Structure 1
Amino acid sequence: MEVLLLKHASQMVDGALEHGRALECHPLTVAVLDPGGHLLALKREDDSGILRPDIATAKAWGALGMGAGGRDLARRAATAPAFFEALSAISGGRIAPVPGGVLVRDAAGHIIGAVGISGDHPDKDEACAVHAIESAGFTADCG
């Protein structure tokens, strides 16, 4: 199993922000977590809102905690809102089941981390995360 290192996380953050500029996104915040949910890297662009680091981290943390990308979690939350309300309570509000939380998988398919992005429409956040993960040589899993 590969390990997600700081150099990979830094590359992902920078790649996501660069892609965000190419897509003309609103200012983004990008968080990269290791498989245990610990923060490896975080960058907040100028003028990105004060809640964006918490939201980006919650998107990534929720994906890791449930083993599914934010897009899948959003679909599941729509069909099982009581379950996701319970998850929110259990996790102390650390889960954001929306697109923009993307699992990082190694070549063998193991989950080795997650990227969470907040700042623009969730679809654009997710596109930046996918681009960042794949440009770093890993597989992105949105769910």
Structure 2
Amino acid sequence: MSPITPSVYSLQHITAEAAELASKTALRLAEEMGILISVAIVDNGGHLLHFARHDAAQFLTIDVAINKAWTASSFALPSHAWNEIVQQPSLAPLSQTPRFTPVAGGCPLYYQDGIIGAIGISGGSPQQDHYLGNCTVQHLDFQK
């Protein structure tokens, strides 16, 4: 009888160093735009890995940034994509999920075609938050 060998599966995660670099990049880009933000980086399980904010960023931006990142990490979709999805009656109950934030500013982070985490930004308009998330992703090459 041959021994049973378990399948081997490996998940890649964003590193703490890369998460900090992403946060610093987002803060710098926001300063160039003249807005004050909070930025959160979560791993691919939605767990907070790094958080930073401008000193004078509004306090509500803290939880919103974390929850946008969590939302983007959950199904590897930008947080704003959920806004349309939950309009479908069969999926509308998802909007009652705690932490679920279908607002622009959450972007998945990829490495070698796999999701490694997500970034969430809050403090500007939805368009500004989305733009900053995308610019950070592109700047650090966290794309598929």
Band the TM-score falls in, shorter-chain normalisation = 0.7 to 0.9
Mapping for residues 36-115 of structure 1, pairs under 5 Å:
36-77=45-86, 79-80=87-88, 83-84=91-92, 86-89=93-96, 91=97, 93-106=98-111, 108-115=112-119
Write the letter of the residue equivalent to 1:102.
C
Bigger Cα Rg: 2
Shift of 1:131: 1.6
Partner of 2:4: none
- The percentage of counterpart residues that share the same residue type is 29
Is contact 2:27–2:53 with CA below 8 Å preserved after alignment?
no
Give the equivalent residue in structure 1 for 2:29. Answer: 19
What letter is aligned with 1:116?
G
Distance in 2, Cα, partners of 1:71 & 1:87:
14
- How many equivalent residue pairs? 134
1:34 pairs with one of 43, 46, 51? 43
Which aligned segments of 4 or more residues in structure 1 are displaced greater than 4 angstroms?
none
Equivalent pair of 1:32/1:116 in contact (CA under 8 Å): yes
Question: TM-score, normalised to structure 1's length?
Answer: 0.84
Q: Describe the SS at the equivalent of 1:104.
A: strand
Measure how far apart 1:48 and its partner are.
Answer: 1.2
Shift of 1:81: 6.2
Measured after TM superposition, the shift of residue 136 of structure 1 is 2.0
Cα distance between partner residues in 1 of 2:74 and 2:13: 18
**Are 1:15 and 1:131, in contact at CA under 8 Å, matched by a contact in 2?**
no
Q: Larger helix proportion, structure 1 or 2?
A: 1
Per the TM alignment, residue 2 of structure 1 is displaced from its structure 2 partner at its CA by 4.5
- Aligned AA (1:87): L
Is the contact made by 2:85 and 2:91 (CA closer than 8 Å) also made in structure 1?
Answer: no
| CA root-mean-square deviation | 1.8
SS of 2:62's partner is helix
8 Å CA contact 1:11, 1:132 repeated in 2: no
* Runs (5+) with no aligned partner, structure 1: none
